[in-house]
Copies of this chain bind each other. A is one copy, B any other.
Amino acid sequence: MQKKIKDGCRDLSLRRTARYLKKHDNYIIITHASPDGDTLGAGYALYYGLKEIGKQASVICPDVIPKKYDYFVHETDHVDINNATVISVDVADKRLLGSLCEIFGDKIDLAIDHHISNTRFSKNLYLDADAAATCQIIFELLTLMRVNINTLTAKALYTGIATDTGCFKYSNVTYKTHIITAQLYEYPIDAAEINKLMFDMKSRRLLELEQTVLNTAEFHFDDRCMLLTVTADIQEKTGCSGPDLEGLSVISRSVEGVDAGVTIKQTDDNEYKISLRTYPPLDASLICKKLGGGGHKGAAGASLEGDLESVKAQVLSAVREVMEETYAGTVTAK
């Protein structure tokens, strides 16, 4: 991969990336918009690492950083843009830089990322699509550079690995993920406390949303299909919208015996967005294709127009058709 240049973007090895970081002195580290644990963890761990070897560095996030990350987020240096090496962490596409895209979109000197979908927008790129988190890469980098890892760095790295793997639950976890995490336990990171903050805390607003939406639950086709509805009314009443609604799709397929979890979200007067989650052998993309949408086998979506009842009828009809094809006629409508 050494020195491979494609679309004006040069692929670096881990070793060359380490050398690159040692060579320069003033860094601006940029996270993606709507920051999560991995982009922030990677950004700050890299920052703390660079400080350990006497560099100047600044972490810039396009959006306000949620308070729950306060335990590793601190003020960073002020670095002059005109005299800085700009690094993006965990950013797959320059559009994900949000409000910073205009200023930095074409000025990223080095991107460190683990998304296979990375669009090669940077001058240099270290991409490891097998890494469960960008924080896993930063750990390897700092180790290779023989940079001292302090407790703050370890907390930041743990946060990124834990959040991007659903606390070691998802299929992106590997042997290496656990080996690296074990090494972070050598520091007093208080992982249980971090996990409580990251996974067990819910705003009252979100709790009320879930509660209200669960009251709309309908079960169809021998209870193999669960349908949740989020009307504009519910969104207004609970003050929840956009990203708040993401978690609902997970609920829709977390019930034993449910193969198809449908969430219908109202987006306008007569407009609805459908999110579908399925379990094999049921293919979500086949169902959503029938509705003019698309997606993957396990998760797909579509947009429909009409009143709620007609939208529901269309969705249920598509689910039933594909269920019948898939289960060869064993499904009966209730």
Contact = CB atoms under 8 A, between A and B. Distances in A.
Interface of A: 162, 166-171, 173-179, 181-183, 185-186, 191-192, 195-196, 199-204, 207, 210-211, 214-215, 217, 219, 223, 250, 254-257
A314 B193 CA distance: 31
Contacts of A195: 168-170
Copies in the complex: 2
Given A171-B192, A195-B169, A204 B219 contact: yes
Given A178-B178, A181-B178, A207-B214, A199 B255 contact: no
Contacts of A173: 185, 191-192
A88 B166 CA distance: 33
27 contacts: A167-B167, A167-B168, A167-B169, A168-B168, A168-B195, A169-B192, A169-B195, A169-B196, A169-B199, A170-B192, A171-B192, A173-B191, A174-B185, A175-B182, A175-B185, A175-B186, A178-B182, A178-B185, A179-B179, A182-B182, A201-B254, A203-B256, A204-B255, A207-B217, A207-B255, A211-B214, A215-B215
Given A175-B185, A185-B175, A255 B211 contact: no
Nearest to A186: B175
A169 B161 CA distance: 12
A175 to B, nearest CB: 4
Contacts of A162: 168
Contacts of A174: 185
A254 B168 contact: no
Nearest to A171: B192
Given A171-B191, A175-B185, A176-B182, 7 more contacts: A166-B167, A167-B169, A169-B199, A173-B192, A174-B185, A182-B182, A200-B250
A216 to B, nearest CB: 11
A215 to B, nearest CB: 7
Contacts of A200: 169, 250, 254
A209 to B, nearest CB: 11
A69 B186 CA distance: 33
A89 B175 CA distance: 27
Contact of A201 (B204, B217, B256): B256
Given A186-B175, A256-B201, A257-B204, A215 B211 contact: yes
Contacts of A257: 204
